[in-house]
């Protein structure tokens, strides 16, 4: 098993060439000892632990060390409520490895520096330390000095402790065992781990433990996992879409599929594999995707004659078929779409929905007789995409055209819808509709005979929208209680929660009224759930359904039964209203429409766009978390200059600290689009950065 490339890169940089052995996957210390018995190294036990006060620690101790969790706070010199082993999801999220594959080397994946590494001093006196290279089917042997150099290279300072003594706790210098003394001196208290930023005081672990304003990254991860939208997988950057999120994707599919079929688009399916020769046929296109292409090189134990790529997009897969199908002007337009998955193997910090190695999308591919016909479709599709965001997800977007630098690789021009995340001050590309021109037609020899009998090359488009839509919706609307779902995409729009009463007769009447309300709402087309579970109390149910973002909750107590009414509670505002059963259907219909509208308007109010005409005001506006609209000369050279200059100024203002790509706003600005809705631009208006005559207004921002 080869050492993973990112790990090998660090080894190479530090001139470390560890002795390495492949073996069967090991899940226990005993199995690890057996697999490495001939390597002459000390095999370690690795414990990933956490405490809500003290934070997260990776303990690397001798294989036979018994670690007393209750004594750990004193040993570490911290105040703690109670250490416990972190679960599989936390292990995957923070260290990027699965159970059984943990070792000190895994701190390389802790880019945020949230995990403190503690190493048993007895290990640091061994001649060699066995470490899993991020996988449990191999072991590398590093000297203590090499391990120390590696850990420091990843911006972690190892804490070396003597785990033998009950009162031990002083950190020895890395690589030195703590000397034995007749009586161990009192350990100096290590700096107490700061309270996690944004964590709620006395938070219930069943709900959200972080606030949206205090720690956006942790808040987002908890919203999507605790609401049962996402589950983690053992391959980094890949996630399980649970039914609660997939049903939202189905609502988006239904909306968009219906719209594209009105303009003659037909669904189809092409294979996910593409040969190297086909992928590399269009040079500019493959260069745009080359770093993200995943390759299949083996089948069983044998090497393939030619590596096969997994599609990052399907132009080079579909267009050879277009060449076989398009011969006459009567074959045009050809309008195909497929709902599928693609793989883009990027190495930035993955974020569920927003940046993943595998994601779901639709990709439309069409061919037309003229540029005008292709251009009309580009704008029609862009309008459909804006509808997905604004009509379904209640997220406002800005429509525009990408600059030459940001357009689709190999295309003629690219249009986009851009959204804004108020919680981070970042923009995010929502969906794109590209006019590809005739480049791919020339490359794949797609030709047809026009009405005059002459050979012609069609004008092609491609367009796509992904499951990123769901992540944008979550980030824009949700709050410190959990998800807030727009009614049009909520899998359940309304939940009925009975408040039990110790009276059998009343209980029967209550159940009958709940069932009556449920039937009436279902008949009216409302997606409703009657939660009659007896093993949970009403308070637990309120919190559960709030966490999942259900738009409306109906509470039915004994007094409500007597009055033939229910109490309706809106998820987004918490507003409560007593509604007579006779007008319940009409009231709910009005509330759902009102909530959908108000979510969109609230998001519009939070969108921040500032007009800037001079450079001095540009970076400060970005620092305030705004998108910025400027007059611009629209030259790639100056676009690059803005990116470099804005990053340098922002880093200088921050004391030279690099950005955290997970949650802090990236400091470099980039063009988002040239908005179609352009303010007046008087002749002679100078570009805000170059001073040259401005050609248009351009929207800039810090983007995901």
Domain extent listing, the chain = 5-161, 217-271+326-462, 494-606, 609-701
Evaluate if residue 171 carries a pLDDT over 50. Answer: no
Evaluate if residue 167 carries a pLDDT over 60. Answer: no
Rounded to an integer, what is the distance from CA 123 to the centroid of its chain?
Answer: 38
pLDDT tens digits for 104-113? 999 999 988 8
Domain 609-701: which topology?
Translation Initiation Factor IF3 (3.30.110)
Whole-number pLDDT of residue 179: 37
Candidate CATH numbers 3.20.20.140, 3.40.50.720, 3.40.1360.10, 3.30.930.10; the one for domain 217-271+326-462: 3.30.930.10
pLDDT tens digits for 405-427? 999 988 999 999 999 999 999 99
Residues 6+ apart with CB under 8 A from 135: 1, 4, 97, 101
Beta-sheet pairing, 398-401 with 670-675: antiparallel
Whole-number pLDDT of residue 639: 96
The stretch 624-652 carries a mean pLDDT of: 94
| Nearest-5° Cα angle at 58, 123 to 74 | 85
Provide the 3-class DSSP secondary structure of residue 276. Answer: helix
Say if CB 484 and CB 599 are below 8 A apart: yes
Where is pLDDT greater, at 127 or 369? Answer: 369
Reading the block at residue 404, the tokens are 């030459």
pLDDT tens digits for 177-190? 333 333 333 333 33
Rounded to an integer, what is the distance from CA 429 to the centroid of its chain?
Answer: 13
The stretch 322-330 carries a mean pLDDT of: 97
d(CA 172, CA 164): 14
Whole-number pLDDT of residue 656: 58
What rounded mean pLDDT belongs to the chain? 89
Say if CB 436 and CB 412 are below 8 A apart: yes
Length of the chain: 704
CATH architecture for segment(s) 494-606: 3-Layer(aba) Sandwich (3.40)
Q: What is the 3-state secondary structure (H, E, C) of 680-691?
A: CCCCCCECCCCC
Question: Residue 373 — φ and ψ, nearest 5°?
Answer: -65, -40
Beta-sheet pairing, 239-241 with 230-232: antiparallel
Whole-number pLDDT of residue 613: 97
Say if CB 135 and CB 101 are below 8 A apart: yes
**Weakest mean pLDDT among 71-80, 324-333, 542-551:** 71-80
Evaluate if residue 546 carries a pLDDT over 90. Answer: yes
pTM of the model as a whole: 0.73
What residue spans of 14-81 are helical by DSSP H?
A: 29-35, 72-76
pLDDT tens digits for 583-615? 999 999 999 999 999 999 999 999 999 999 999
DSSP state of 664: S
Assign 212 a pLDDT band (cuts: 50, 70, 90): very high
d(CA 171, CA 78): 13
**Weakest mean pLDDT among 65-79, 433-447, 485-499, 582-596:** 65-79
The stretch 684-692 carries a mean pLDDT of: 97
Question: Residue 570 — φ and ψ, nearest 5°?
Answer: -85, 135
Where is pLDDT greater, at 69 or 559? Answer: 559
Where is pLDDT greater, at 74 or 226? Answer: 226
**Weakest mean pLDDT among 51-55, 131-135, 281-285, 638-642:** 281-285
The stretch 57-84 carries a mean pLDDT of: 83
pLDDT tens digits for 506-517? 999 999 999 999
pLDDT tens digits for 218-238? 999 999 999 999 999 989 899
Assign 657 a pLDDT band (cuts: 50, 70, 90): low
Q: What is the 3-state secondary structure (H, E, C) of 104-170?
A: HHHHHHCCCCCEEEEEECCHHHCCCEEECCCCCCEEEEECHHHHHHHHHHCCCCCEEECCCCCCCCC
Q: Answer whether CATH 3.40.50.880 is correct for domain 5-161.
A: no
d(CA 239, CA 224): 11
């Amino acid at each position: 098993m080869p050492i993973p490339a990112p790990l090998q890169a660090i080894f190479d940089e530090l001139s470390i060439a560890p002795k390495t052995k492949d073996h069967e996957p090991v899940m226990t210390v005993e199995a690890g000892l057996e697999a490495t018995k001939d390597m002459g190294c000390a095999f370690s036990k690795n414990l990933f632990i956490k405490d809500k006060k003290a934070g997260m620690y990776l303990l690397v101790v001798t294989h036979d060390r018994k670690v007393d969790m209750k004594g750990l706070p004193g040993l570490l010199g911290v105040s703690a409520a109670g250490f416990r082993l972190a679960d599989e999801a936390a292990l995957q999220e923070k260290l990027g490895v699965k159970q059984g594959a943990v070792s000190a080397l895994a701190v390389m994946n802790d880019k945020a520096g949230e995990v403190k590494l503690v190493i048993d001093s007895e290990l640091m006196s061994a001649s060699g330390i066995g470490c899993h290279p991020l996988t449990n089917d191999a072991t590398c042997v590093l000297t203590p000095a090499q391990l120390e150099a590696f850990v420091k290279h990843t911006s972690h300072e190892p804490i070396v402790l003597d785990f033998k003594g009950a009162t031990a706790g002083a950190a020895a210098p890395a690589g030195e065992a703590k000397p034995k003394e007749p009586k161990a001196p009192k350990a100096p208290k290590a700096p107490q781990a700061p309270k996690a930023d944004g964590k709620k005081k006395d938070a219930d672990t069943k709900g959200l433990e972080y606030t949206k304003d205090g720690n956006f990254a942790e808040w987002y991860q908890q919203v999507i996992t605790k609401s049962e939208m996402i589950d983690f997988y053992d391959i980094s950057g890949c996630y399980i879409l649970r039914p609660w999120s997939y049903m939202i994707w189905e609502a988006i599919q239904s909306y968009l599929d219906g719209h594209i079929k009105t303009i003659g688009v037909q669904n189809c399916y092409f294979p996910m594999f593409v040969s190297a020769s086909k992928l590399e046929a269009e040079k500019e296109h493959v260069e745009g995707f080359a770093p993200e292409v995943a390759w299949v090189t083996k089948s069983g134990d044998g090497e393939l004659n030619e590596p096969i790529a997994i599609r990052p997009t399907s132009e080079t897969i579909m267009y050879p078929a277009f060449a076989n199908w398009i011969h006459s002007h009567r074959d045009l337009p050809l309008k195909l779409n497929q709902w599928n998955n693609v793989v883009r193997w990027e190495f930035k910090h993955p974020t569920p929905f927003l940046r993943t190695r595998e994601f779901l999308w639709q990709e439309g591919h069409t061919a037309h007789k003229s540029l005008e016909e292709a251009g009309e479709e580009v704008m029609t599709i862009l309008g459909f995409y804006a509808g997905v965001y604004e009509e379904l997800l209640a997220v406002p977007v800005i429509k525009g055209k990408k600059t030459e630098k940001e357009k689709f690789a190999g295309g003629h021009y690219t249009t986009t819808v851009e959204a804004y995340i108020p919680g981070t001050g970042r923009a995010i590309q929502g969906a794109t509709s590209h006019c590809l021109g005739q480049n791919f037609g020339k490359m794949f020899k797609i030709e047809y005979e026009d009405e005059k009998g002459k050979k012609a090359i069609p004008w092609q488009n491609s367009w796509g929208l992904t499951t990123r839509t769901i992540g944008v919706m979550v980030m824009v609307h949700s709050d410190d209680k959990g998800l807030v779902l727009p009614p049009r995409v909520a899998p359940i729009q309304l939940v009925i929660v009975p408040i039990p009463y110790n009276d059998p007769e009343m209980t029967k009447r209550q159940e009958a009224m709940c069932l009556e309300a449920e039937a009436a709402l279902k008949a009216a087309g409302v997606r409703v759930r009657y939660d009659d579970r007896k093993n949970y109390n009403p308070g637990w149910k309120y919190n559960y359904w709030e966490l999942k973002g259900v738009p409306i909750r109906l509470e039915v107590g004994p007094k409500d039964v007597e009055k033939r009414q229910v109490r309706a509670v809106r998820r987004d505002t918490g507003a409560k209203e007593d509604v007579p059963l006779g007008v319940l259907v009409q009231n709910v219909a009005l509330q759902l429409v009102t909530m959908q509208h108000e979510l969109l308007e609230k998001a519009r109010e939070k969108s921040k766009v500032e007009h800037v005409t001079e450079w001095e005001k540009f970076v400060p506006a970005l620092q305030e978390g705004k998108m910025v609209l400027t007059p611009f000369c629209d030259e790639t050279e100056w676009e690059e200059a803005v990116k470099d200059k804005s990053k340098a100024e922002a880093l200088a203002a921050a004391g030279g600290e690099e950005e955290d790509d997970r949650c802090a706003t990236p400091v470099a600005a980039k063009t988002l689009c040239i908005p179609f809705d352009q303010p007046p631009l008087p002749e002679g208006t100078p570009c805000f950065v170059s001073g040259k005559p401005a050609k248009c207004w351009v929207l800039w921002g810090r983007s995901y």
